[in-house]
Amino acid sequence: MEEAQRLVLRRSRLRLVRELRVEPLWEPLLRKGVFTRDMIQEIQASGTRRDQARQLVIDLESRGKQALPLFIGCLQETGQSSLAAFLAEGCCASQGPPADIKPIQVPSHSGQGDPTSESLPFPIQAMNQRHQEPTHDVSAAQGSVEERPRRNSETEIASELQSLARRDHGSLDCCLVVILSHGCQTSHIQFPGGIYGTDGRRLAVEKIVSYFNGSNSPSLRGKPKIFFIQACGGEEKDRGFQVDFDASPGGQMSGRTVESDATPFQVQMGNSDELDAIASLPTPSDILVSYSTFPGFVSWRDKLTGSWYVETLDQVLEQYASSEDLLDMLLRVADAVSAKGTFKQMPGCFNFLRKRFFFMVK
């Protein structure tokens, strides 16, 4: 979808969420090829009518430059003419009337994003070989790293991750999964966010993590499962706020380290209840998910040096992995990335590790 069309949708979102009747739209949206049946079912599962309307508008941005005119046609077809006219007024005259545009047979991902920015603010931009960011996972243990084959579609990504989770990790120390893709905000219970495949379908981060939990990956029970997610968490752009850095000791905030307050769980051997508790572990234990950006916000990149989060993470690991644990290093990454750019970005993590995590560095 072109930038002008995205702007039309975003400026119209409040009214669409408030007034859109989603139920009659499913059949024409499916028939015209705007969404697949699976995509529609996923939107329907997002919650209330307002939630479904909001998710529909968000997902529409990833469905190619014909999607908006076709959506306007669906509104007219279902008797929502006032909304159709409202959207049509904002469309460029060069797009032509919706009725003249043929239905989408294959999702087209032709949006180029904002040509003046360095961001990845949209779920799907230019998904061609030249501009595509790789989507892959990495399994690492005992100091070795194995790069898995790249998979592009949502189904292929899920299949590859499940295959990795089912492997025998008995002789390994941990599992690392690194994903670089376009992302979005999704409804969730545990871990926020979702990533897109090149087919325009999204895979929830919490579903990815669930493949590796204690129930689904027995050989990883009790072992750290670390996830690094480089993807947009939504569409909001953070301009930040003014802060007096001189108020901090030394007049600067960079270079700080924070000692982890996590301590090993001590078992009193004379207490049978505690022994029973140690015999099993919570299903989501030993999991850490590190996000490139705060949920709901875009993730930025420099056109020459790459994504802020990935490049900073790489630099911090190279410099400090021999002496600091992962949480301390992620604080360094968050501090460095938060200081970049006119628009701001705040990495963070969901930490369910039971112990401090150190890399084995030769």
What tokens does 251 get? Answer: 């007049």
User: Dihedral (C-alpha) 178, 181, 182, 185: value to the nearest 10 degrees?
Assistant: -30
Which residue's structure tokens are 């492997």? Answer: 167
Catalytic residue among 174, 182, 184, 349: 182
Q: Which helix (H) or strand (E) holds 306?
A: strand 306-307
Which residue's structure tokens are 């908006």? Answer: 68
Mean pLDDT of all residues in 66-79: 91
Confidence of residue 1 (pLDDT cuts 50, 70, 90): low
Confidence of residue 125 (pLDDT cuts 50, 70, 90): very low
pLDDT on residue 59: 84
Query: Which CA distances in Å does 193 have to 48, 149, 233?
Result: 19, 23, 6
pLDDT on residue 105: 37
Q: How far apart are alpha carbons 67 and 86 in whole angstroms?
A: 16
Mean pLDDT of all residues in 243-265: 38
pLDDT on residue 150: 53
Greater model confidence, 109 or 301: 301
At 3-33, the pLDDT tens digits run 788 888 888 888 898 899 999 999 999 999 9
pLDDT on residue 189: 85
Q: Is the pLDDT of residue 253 over 70?
A: no
pLDDT on residue 243: 63
- The domains of the chain, with CATH numbers, are 3-100 (1.10.533.10), 138-352 (3.40.50.1460)
Of residues 211, 215, 216, 222, the one with CA closest to residue 177: 211
Of residues 198, 196, 197, 194, the one with CA closest to residue 186: 194
**Helix, strand, or coil (residue 322):** coil
Query: Is 92 in the active site?
Result: no
Three-class DSSP labels, 190-207: CCCCEEECCCCCEEEHHH
Average pLDDT, the chain: 75
Q: How far apart are alpha carbons 134 and 127 in whole angstroms?
A: 10
Query: Which CA distances in Å does 253 have to 21, 136, 155, 244, 294?
Result: 50, 34, 43, 10, 20
Q: Is the pLDDT of residue 207 over 70?
A: yes
Mean pLDDT of all residues in 276-303: 80
Task: Please provide residue 290's backbone torsions phi and psi, each rounded to the nearest 5 degrees.
Answer: -100, 125
pLDDT on residue 280: 64
Query: Is 182 in the active site?
Result: yes
What tokens does 236 get? Answer: 């909001």
**Going by C-beta distance under 8 Å and a sequence separation of 6 or more, which residues neighbour residue 120?**
113, 133, 182, 231, 232, 298, 299, 300, 301, 307
At 295-309, the pLDDT tens digits run 888 888 887 888 999
Catalytic residue among 174, 175, 232, 349: 232
At 312-357, the pLDDT tens digits run 999 999 999 999 999 999 999 999 999 988 889 999 999 999 999 9
The full DSSP string for 84-127 is HHHHHHHS-GGG--GGGSPPPSS--------TT--EE-SS----
Query: Which CA distances in Å does 345 have to 115, 118, 247, 303?
Result: 19, 12, 22, 16
At 175-200, the pLDDT tens digits run 999 999 888 888 788 899 999 888 88
Q: Per DSSP, what are the bridge partners of residue 141?
A: 144
